[in-house]
Amino acid sequence: MAVTAENIKELRERTGAGMMDCKKALAETGGDMEKAIAYLREKGLAKMHKRAGKVAAEGVVEAYIHLGGKIGVLVEVNCETDFVARTDDFRWLAKEVALQIAAGKPLYVSSEDVPESMLESERAIYRAQALNEGKPEAVVNKIVEGRLKKFYTEVCLLDQPYIRDPEKTIRDLVAEVSAKTGEKIQVRRFARFELGEGIEKPDACDV
């Protein structure tokens, strides 16, 4: 059975799992909705649905300073209760997310945060590239979406490969800790500072 956008949407609504997790679950189970739900539950990803209505207003603002003060990160990671916010698992997650931001240089938390104007610009560029490469019109859209997915892994924190284990994403990491603690966990926002970033330094001959 083919995996369609409608199937993915339905599974996401029924389980609360992420879009890519739903797509993978359907692919792994041949498009069978009930088996896909069971697959997500086994992975601990469907628990998010039970807590989708919960408010994740507790948590921590984690700080990370790297390279002798040349890179700094502040990230807010939320959970539902102060009890979980004080656990070693949650604190570890916040530190790992901060480290990822320092190393991965993401611009946004998730793909939903990327401005539509930027996406339109990227799609136009990828389309032009594909046509310039001589790709047939029939496959250009598929190529564009594939390159857009790669773009997300570069600029979106949750889609980035985890620096300690590239086989999983930061979204996977958050889901694992969420399943372990039994609470909804989300990365709300972050700021990354790099010393001298954006400052145009004069050439030696100009000094």
Condensed to tens digits (0 to 9), the pLDDT of residues 115-129 reads 999 999 999 999 898
Per-residue pLDDT, 48:
52
- 3 state DSSP class of 132: helix
Residues carrying CATH 3.30.479.20, the chain: 58-111+156-194
Is the Cα torsion angle 169, 5, 125, 120 positive or negative in sign?
A: negative
What is the per-residue pLDDT across 72-106, written as a single tens digit (0 to 9) for each?
999 999 999 999 999 999 999 999 999 999 999 99
- Helices assigned H by DSSP within the chain: 5-15, 19-28, 33-42, 47-50, 82-85, 88-104, 116-132, 137-155, 170-181
- CATH 1.10.8.10 domain extents, the chain: 5-50
Q: Give the CATH class of 115-153.
A: mainly alpha
d(CA 25, CA 44): 12
- The ranges of the chain with pLDDT < 70 are 1, 46-55, 203-207
Where in the chain are all domains bearing CATH 1.10.286.20? 115-153
Question: How many Cβ atoms sit within 10 Å of the Cβ of residue 197?
Answer: 9
Q: What is the fold, at CATH topology level, of the domain defined by 58-111+156-194? A: Tetrahydropterin Synthase; Chain A (3.30.479)
Within 10 Å of residue 25's Cβ, how many Cβ atoms?
Answer: 29
**Residue 131 confidence (pLDDT):** 87
| pLDDT given at position 176 | 93
The CATH class that applies to domain 5-50 reads mainly alpha
109, 48, 51, 52: which is closest to 76 by C-alpha? 109
pLDDT at 150 (0 to 100): 93
